[in-house]
């Protein structure tokens, strides 16, 4: 039973285990938004496999697609051989891409995880340019293999030049908080907040420009720039569209391939099929995983054919051909596209964000709420703590952990992220109903009220 399983696993599992520490549940059944634990309790799952489950748990079209492969007698392990299942997945994937990539793009199937695809992207741009260094951003998360980890925010790696990400609330240029206000909740909707967000993005863009153009920066031209259109693990930080376009223009002007990591933002999550569609930028390399596998492990990169200069086997991996994942993924991509779940995510996400703003107006422990589509974040702060140079109070890390526990007590699963793990993140399935959205926010509101009491 639940207690025994938890006890045995905590004895045997590694000290590196993560989610299991803050979420001591033992899932035995799941459907849509709901997970049922071994204790018979039901939970609303707004973690969604770290943003993987675009259609929620065990969606019928996904199950049907998996069953069809199993019943067909097709081989489940095929390395990277061509198969009808792979052909159908690739066709469906290309139908969703911006025209330049759909017509002239190449796809490389990577090892099972997002980090494998990031690794492939880095190898690709290094091979194609003959250069080595990278530009990456503060707060970034790209994965746990060596290259992806080096490109992630906390890492110190001499081959990576770290540039400030336009984080309006904790603006790296000290324009956040009151007055010039980078996006304190009260101001974010108003012109001051918008102004400061643009100002911060402008300075962040100029910083990147200087590093690339000024010989005094001492930074050699890199093999690529890698960024997330919305930082997820970094605390749900949407980059302004204008800044993304600047990064696209800048990298194009300097012949630096732009790698966009849509592992978490893809497949309708942000209110567009791909987050790049909001700004209209087309990267040189698009990194995809999570939702593209319809809950099973799958990762690919799609890139401009001019970059396709690497030799056969330059990026290999035994598990590049997961037929079940491709079938589940193709079904998911088709369902999101046919039912326009991206538009649904945009509309419902905007309404949820509005309600979160209302909540923030009642709690001075909520420093900021933000998000795009159904990728939402509530940044908790310690309102009594000293205001930092960024104009914001310190992260409310303890409070966030308490909110997460209070949510769990109320049958709601949420994840934390961002600086000091002080951002409560919501990544519900795109199939969320209005009633479910209300239930999620009711429970979150209760949990916050209980945590500050």
Residue 315 CB, nearest approach to ligand PMP (Å): 15
Q: Which stretch binds ligand PMP (CB under 6 A): 11-19, 126-134, 228-236, 273-281?
A: 228-236
Strand-strand pairing, 258-261 and 285-288:
parallel
Identify which of residues 205 and 237 has a Cβ nearer to ligand PMP in the complex: 237
Q: Quick one: which of 237, 251, 233 has its CA closest to 172? A: 237
The helix (H) or strand (E) run that includes residue 197 is: helix 191-213
Listed residue (145, 123, 136) closest to 164, CA to CA: 136
Does residue 139 touch ligand PMP according to CB under 6 A?
Answer: no
Least distance from ligand PMP to the Cβ atom of residue 51, Å: 7
Q: Does 183 bind ligand PMP (CB under 6 A)?
A: no
Tokens (6 digits) for 449: 């009220």
Q: Does 228 bind ligand PMP (CB under 6 A)?
A: yes
Q: Within 84-123, which residues bind ligand PMP (CB under 6 A)?
A: 113-115, 118
DSSP 8-state secondary structure symbol assigned to residue 421: G
Residues 286-305 close enough to bind ligand PMP by CB under 6 A: 289
Distance of CA 107 to CAs 191, 264, 320, Å? 42, 18, 12
List the alpha helices (DSSP H) in 31-83: 48-51, 60-72
How many residues at the interface with ligand PMP, by CB under 6 A? 15
Quick one: 226 or 353, whose CB is closer to ligand PMP?
226
| Nearer residue to ligand PMP within complex by CB, 172 or 266 | 266
Minimal distance, residue 232 CB to ligand PMP, in Å: 5
Q: Do 425 and 404 meet the contact criterion of CB atoms below 8 Å apart? A: no
Q: Which of 105, 111, 133, 143 is close enough to bind ligand PMP by CB under 6 A?
A: 143
- Burial class from Cβ neighbours inside 10 Å (0-12, 13-18, 19+) for residue 17 reads exposed
State which of residues 142, 246, 278, 372 lies at the interface with ligand PMP (CB under 6 A): 142
Complex with ligand PMP: residue 251 or 264, whichever CB lies closer: 264
> Which of 299, 381 has the CB closer to ligand PMP?
299
Q: In this complex, which beta carbon is closest to ligand PMP, that of residue 170 or of residue 425?
A: 425
User: Strands, DSSP E only, in 252-322?
Assistant: 258-261, 285-288, 300-304
**Binders of ligand PMP among 310-349, rule CB under 6 A?**
none
Distance between CA atoms of residues 279 and 93, nearest Å: 20
Q: How far is the CB of 109 from ligand PMP (least distance, A)?
A: 14
Q: In what side-by-side order are the strands of the sheet with 366-372?
A: 366-372, 375-380, 423-426, 415-417
Q: Which residues of 165-183 are buried (b: 16+ CB within 10 A; e: fewer)?
A: bbbbbbbbbbbbbeebbbb
Phi/psi of residue 75, nearest 5 degrees: -65, 140
| DSSP H/E element including 352 | helix 341-362
Taking CB positions, which residue lies at the least distance from ligand PMP? 114
Q: By CB under 6 A, what part of segment 5-64 binds ligand PMP?
A: 50
Q: Which span (33-41, 87-95, 227-235, 321-329) binds ligand PMP, by CB under 6 A?
A: 227-235
Instruction: State which residue, 233 or 382, has the beta carbon closest to ligand PMP.
Output: 233
Per CB under 6 A, the segment of 11-19, 139-147, 218-226, 317-325 that binds ligand PMP is 139-147
Q: Which of 89, 56, 61, 60 is nearest to 74 (CA)?
A: 89
Residue 233 binds ligand PMP, judged by CB under 6 A: yes
Binding mask 250-269 for ligand PMP (x = CB under 6 A): -----------x-xx-----
C-beta of 223 vs 260, nearer to ligand PMP: 260
Q: Which of residues 392-451 bind ligand PMP (CB under 6 A)?
A: none
Indicate whether 375 belongs to the interface with ligand PMP (CB under 6 A): no
Question: CA 230 to CA 163: how far, in whole Å?
Answer: 15
Alpha-carbon 211 to chain mean position = 26
Q: Name the nearest CA neighbour of 383 among 406, 417, 414, 360.
A: 360
What are the residue ranges of helices labelled H in 130-176? 146-151
Q: Please state the closest distance from residue 124 (CB atom) to ligand PMP, in A.
A: 16
- Which residues contribute to the site for ligand PMP (CB under 6 A)? 50, 113-115, 118, 141-143, 228, 232-233, 261, 263-264, 289
């Amino acid at each position: 039973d639940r207690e025994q399983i938890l006890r045995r696993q905590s004895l045997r599992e590694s000290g590196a285990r993560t989610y299991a520490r803050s979420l001591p549940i033992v899932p035995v059944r799941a459907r849509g938004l709901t997970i049922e634990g071994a204790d018979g309790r039901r939970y609303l799952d707004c973690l969604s496999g770290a943003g993987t489950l675009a259609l929620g748990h065990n969606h019928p079209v996904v199950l049907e697609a998996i069953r069809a492969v199993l019943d067909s007698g097709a081989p489940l392990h095929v390395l990277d051989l061509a198969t009808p299942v792979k052909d159908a997945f690739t066709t469906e994937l290309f139908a969703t891409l911006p025209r330049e990539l759909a017509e002239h793009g190449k796809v490389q199937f990577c090892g099972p995880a997002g980090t494998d695809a990031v690794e492939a992207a880095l190898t690709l741009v290094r091979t194609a340019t003959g250069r080595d260094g990278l530009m990456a951003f503060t707060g970034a998360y790209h994965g746990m293999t060596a290259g992806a980890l080096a490109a992630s925010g906390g890492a110190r790696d001499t081959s990576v030049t770290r540039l400030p990400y336009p984080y309006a609330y904790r603006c790296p240029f000290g324009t956040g908080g009151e007055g010039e206000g980078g996006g304190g909740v009260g101001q974010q909707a108003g012109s001051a907040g918008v102004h400061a967000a643009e100002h911060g993005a402008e300075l962040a863009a100029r910083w990147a420009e200087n590093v690339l153009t000024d010989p005094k920066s001492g930074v050699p031209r890199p093999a690529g720039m890698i960024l997330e259109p919305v930082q997820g693990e970094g605390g749900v930080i949407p980059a302004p569209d204008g800044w993304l376009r600047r990064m696209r223009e800048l990298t194009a002007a300097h012949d630096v391939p732009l790698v966009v990591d849509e592992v978490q933002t893809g497949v309708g999550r942000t209110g567009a099929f791909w987050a790049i569609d909001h700004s209209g930028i087309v990267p040189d390399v698009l990194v995809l995983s999570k939702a593209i596998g319809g809950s099973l492990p799958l990762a690919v990169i799609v890139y401009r054919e001019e970059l396709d200069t690497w030799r056969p086997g330059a990026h290999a991996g035994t598990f590049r051909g997961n037929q079940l994942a491709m079938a589940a993924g193709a079904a998911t991509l088709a369902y999101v596209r046919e039912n326009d779940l991206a538009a649904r995510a945009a509309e419902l996400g905007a309404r949820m964000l509005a309600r979160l703003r209302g909540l923030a107006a009642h709690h001075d422990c909520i420093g900021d709420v933000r998000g795009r589509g159904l990728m939402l974040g509530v940044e908790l702060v310690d309102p009594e703590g000293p205001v930092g140079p960024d104009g914001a109070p310190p992260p409310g890390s303890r409070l966030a952990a308490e909110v997460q526990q209070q949510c769990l007590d109320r049958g709601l699963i949420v994840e934390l992220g961002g600086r000091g793990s002080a951002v409560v993140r919501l990544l519900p399935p795109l199939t969320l109903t209005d009633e479910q959205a209300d239930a999620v926010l009711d429970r979150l509101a209760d949990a916050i009220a209980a945590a500050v009491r």
